[in-house]
Chain A
Amino acid sequence: MFGWEFPPHISGGLGTACFGMTQALARKGAEIIFVLPRIDSDVEQEGFLRLRPASGTPITEDLARRMEPTQYEHKVVWPGGVRCMPVDSPLMPYLTPHEYVRALGRHDVHESAGPAGLSVPPAPAASKMRGPRRKTFTYTLHGGYGPDLMREVLRYGRLAAALAARENFDVIHAHDWMTYPAGMLAKNITGKPLVVHIHATEYDRSGDSINEQVAGVERAGMLAADVVVAVSRLTRKTVIERYGIPPEKVLVVHNAVARHEARRRYPVPPRIRHEKRVLFLGRVTFQKGPEYFMEAARLVLQKIPEARFFMAGSGDMLPRLIRRAGQLRMGSRFHFAGFLRGEEVDRMFALSDLYVMPSVSEPFGITPLEAMLYDVPVLLSRQSGVSEVLEHALKADFWDTRDMADKICAVLRYPCLAAELVKNCHEEMKSIRWENAADQLLVIYRNVQGGH
């Protein structure tokens, strides 16, 4: 498996999803070699799979020659001549570490987002010759999402493929576009079947102003793959319609949520017990629709002045939204909690009466499932993959803020509605497990192997 994120090296849902998925797969008896760009030495290894850093893998000249021709880089598959070029921030899968850090209020880069912060200094881009006799070379990777992401992705591709050449395995499984070059190369070198997993597409991340390079890599990866796994029917549709991938090889495997054992209980402090709290938790970017949440909040406050709204997370839209909250004079009821992590997230969920995910485009969206683990009812945008698997959730179109506000009011007003939602969600959550996703993936693995 090729992945770009894995706990604790995460900056979004991708790492969480990879973790849950591999854990369940391992429990089902799959043996997984998970190749990350780099692994900090002080991080303890997960017991259930073999984590490998691509960084530092020696590449022999022979291998390098086999990687050279056709298949990738500018010649055949990739449109627009993808070369190693420094790229600007808008193409980043999530925020750039710069912005991330800036939004966090200039925390120390190195501890804020793990390796994600490390690519701020100029990339060393050192291809070192090691041992004059063996004629091998390697790169050092930083992981994360730096300004030089595309170069990093290509290097990762070579290193990971070289690593693949040394390992013994049956199926190559690549998560999101950063690892597609690696997947394609590895498939080329080893001849093993390739499964690419779409957690998000460039269209989800950037709307219509997409980065052609990234989309090109995505298309090439999907075309080269034996099977394309999409995290929702919504994503499958995008893959088929926008990328022109033959529908018969695009399958849907819905994400799930891992249950943490021994959840802590967070009692609501008595002073705020009479109030109702509504939560938005996610990156404050266009894709997540935070301004629709704010608009809905404005409407709700007209009807229920004592409601409270929390926006947790950071992102490029945050300053604008803070200004807007002031402009609407609702700052005393609309709070910005900043970027939360670890226990803070749990506490935030536990204190909320409703979780709202107004995403403009959300391939899946695991956070509502996490909210439900805390018995928090959820209101989802219909434009999200997770709404396909959650029947017992309130749903609204992200642009229909009145409808959204109406539903928020209803949850805050009628305790019976929230209770019913939570009760039924509990039942529903029993079937939303990574084990089920793992079963589906194992079937896919078996089928692609059979086809080879």
Chain B
Amino acid sequence: MPALCFCYEVHEPYQLRRYTVFDMGQNSIYEDDDHNCEALLRAARLCYLPANELMLRLIRRYDGAFRLSFSISGVALDLFEQYTPEVLESFTALARTGCVEFVAETAPHSLAFLYSRQDFDRQVREQSARLEHLFGVKPVTFKNTECVYNNDLAAAVAGHGFRAVLAEGADHVLGWRSANYLYRPASAPGLALLLRNAGLSGDVGLRFSDHSWPAWPLRAETFAAWCHGLEGSADILNIFNDYHVFGLRHDKKSGIFDFMEALPGALLAHEEFSFTTPALAAENLRPVGEVDVLQFMSWEDEGRDLTAWLGNDMQKDAIHALYAMGPRTAACNSALRRDFDRLQTADHFRHMSTKWFSNEAPDRPSPFASPYDAYITYMNVLADFELRLKADESARATAAAAGKPADAAPVAKARGRVGADAALNNNTKSAVKNAGSPAPRRGGKSPAEIQDANPADTRAAGSKKTGTTRANQEKKPATLRKSRKNA
């Protein structure tokens, strides 16, 4: 009973404007609102609205037999709310059908897992809570930014209580094995691991409008026949793509909408085939084996590695400079917090890539003339951000000195520092441990952690000023764990 599992990544970044050294310290308007608004309106017109409408139609037509899932980034949600609420409504309408699963990711579409577990955890919690609030279902599946994945991530995701995680079916990891089955991560046996079928995903995602491709023009019947051909050798076919494939990467004239419209019918013509979502697959399928991923992998580029974001020294310098400020942002005001999150969006680092100087994805163009401009802008922004951070810190220090009721602030700050260090220590230790063996201790502890964290989170959502309480709540498990370890 092979099933097709569609998951579309929905992500729109806040692009930076050309922020110069002369803006630094003068103003803190980092983003190009005009550009972002225009890009979003265009994406909504060409991609989101028609594609969502199509999906809704398909779900209704096949009466529940057609299912799909989305991983929407938090920044995309922010942008939708800001500029195109109708897109958000169309997603809500899809959610109401019950045939759509919403997959969690890091709220700012960040690479936080690589540098700051603290930020990662917070971003995942925020995003989960937000998706639950918006679509009424608590997400049970997690897909990290651009499918960045390794054993540690699986363990962390299990710790957050997720039941399934998505990753790339990279050949160098799978070897002779096929991505068309359900696996379990070596570090988190309770978790279901869905691996992307790179070939079939790429046929739709990359090659669909490529006239030099032998299979062009691809028809839904052909594609369905390819899937049907895998009947005996597949449990699940994971087609993960950027939602931009509809209307942006392949424009309407390429026939991508017609293709999608005809696909469910063509595929369901074979009675053994069905559509599924990651959560359903995790429930219904049994893992056939364990996948051990020591190195980070992603769904990007030929190498399926991190070089699209961290390939050169500019990118590394920028991201190191960013996360070096991480601990200091733990107790800062909410505007700073928000900017810090948005600066983590992976797109900023991709724009600095010198790897694909001339042939980047046409649907996600860099707003900058060159990677060097991207780096210069980003570093200028970061410098201004640090100035603000410093001002915020000293303001809080003076407030504390004045003995205001914000007595808690410095305490929280101090605790935040300690907590961060503890978490960092913890992080490295567990990473080492995880590499060696699955971490049952972590798994055992995780529910407590989540219960602990969740009330704090909802409270935080309710009232904006509870930064201190939240920080306190958050630190508890970390410090606890530390003391236990010490004992």
Contacts and interface: CB of A to CB of B under 8 A. Distances in A.
B20 A420 contact: no
B314 A416 contact: yes
Contacts of A303: 21-22
A414 B320 CA distance: 13
Interface residues of A, number: 21
19 contacts: A303-B22, A391-B358, A391-B370, A394-B370, A402-B22, A403-B18, A405-B20, A406-B21, A407-B373, A409-B21, A410-B375, A410-B379, A413-B379, A414-B317, A414-B379, A417-B314, A417-B376, A420-B312, A421-B372
A197 interface: no
B20 A403 contact: yes
B21 A420 contact: no
Interface in A408-452: 409-410, 413-414, 416-417, 419-421, 424
Nearest to A391: B357
Contacts of A403: 18, 20
B369 interface: yes
Contacts of A424: 354
A168 to B, nearest CB: 45
Interface string A373-412: 0000000000000000001101100000011011101100
Contacts of A392: 354, 357, 372
Contacts of A420: 312-314, 354, 372, 375
Contacts of A414: 314, 317, 375-376, 379
Contacts of A405: 20-22
A417 B372 contact: yes
B380 interface: yes
A392 B369 CA distance: 11
Interface in B17-38: 18, 20-22
Contacts of B380: 406, 410
Given A405-B22, A417-B314, 14 more contacts: A394-B373, A395-B369, A395-B370, A402-B20, A403-B20, A406-B20, A406-B376, A407-B372, A409-B21, A410-B375, A414-B376, A416-B314, A416-B317, A417-B375
A263 B268 CA distance: 70
Nearest to A377: B372
Interface string A315-340: 00000000000000000000000000
Nearest to A407: B376
A402 B18 CA distance: 11
B380 to A, nearest CB: 7
A299 interface: yes
Contacts of B373: 394, 407
A115 B432 CA distance: 74
Contact of B313 (A391, A402, A407, A419): A419
Nearest to A406: B20
Contacts of B375: 410, 414, 417, 420
Interface string A294-329: 000001000100000000000000000000000000
Nearest to A427: B354
Contacts of A391: 357-358, 370
A407 B313 CA distance: 18
A338 to B, nearest CB: 30
B354 A406 contact: no
B16 to A, nearest CB: 13
A199 B91 CA distance: 59
A406 B21 CA distance: 5
Contacts of B312: 420
Contacts of A395: 369-370
B309 to A, nearest CB: 15
A394 B373 CA distance: 8
Interface in B43-71: none
Contacts of A299: 22
A395 B369 CA distance: 9
A402 B376 CA distance: 13
Interface in B365-383: 369-370, 372-373, 375-376, 379-380
A407 B377 CA distance: 9
Contacts of A406: 20-22, 376, 380
A428 to B, nearest CB: 10
Contacts of A417: 314, 372, 375-376, 379
B298 to A, nearest CB: 22
A416 B313 contact: yes
Nearest to B316: A416
A398 to B, nearest CB: 15
Nearest to A410: B376
A125 to B, nearest CB: 53
Interface in B300-314: 312-314
A295 to B, nearest CB: 13
Contacts of A419: 313
A406 to B, nearest CB: 4
A402 B24 CA distance: 13
Contacts of B314: 414, 416-417, 420
Contacts of B370: 391, 394-395
Nearest to B22: A402
Nearest to A299: B22
Interface string A177-199: 00000000000000000000000
A303 B384 CA distance: 13
Given A394-B370, A417-B372, A417-B375, A410 B313 contact: no
A378 B314 CA distance: 17
A427 to B, nearest CB: 10
B367 to A, nearest CB: 15
Nearest to A300: B21
A419 B316 CA distance: 13
A395 B370 CA distance: 9
Contacts of A410: 21, 375-376, 379-380
A409 B379 CA distance: 11
Nearest to A416: B317
Nearest to B19: A406
Contacts of B20: 402-403, 405-406
A416 B321 CA distance: 12
B18 to A, nearest CB: 7
Contacts of B372: 392, 394, 407, 417, 420-421
Contacts of B357: 391-392
A420 B353 CA distance: 11
A407 B376 CA distance: 7
B105 to A, nearest CB: 29
A424 B18 CA distance: 23
A406 B313 CA distance: 20
A297 to B, nearest CB: 14
B222 to A, nearest CB: 39
Contacts of A413: 379
A421 B358 CA distance: 16
A417 B380 CA distance: 13
Nearest to B313: A416
Contacts of A394: 370, 372-373
Contacts of A409: 21
A328 to B, nearest CB: 17
A402 B19 CA distance: 11
A441 B357 CA distance: 28
B376 to A, nearest CB: 4
A84 B50 CA distance: 72
Nearest to B354: A424
Nearest to B317: A416
Interface in B318-352: none
Contacts of B317: 414, 416
A364 to B, nearest CB: 20
A299 B358 CA distance: 32
A421 B376 CA distance: 12
A403 B369 CA distance: 12
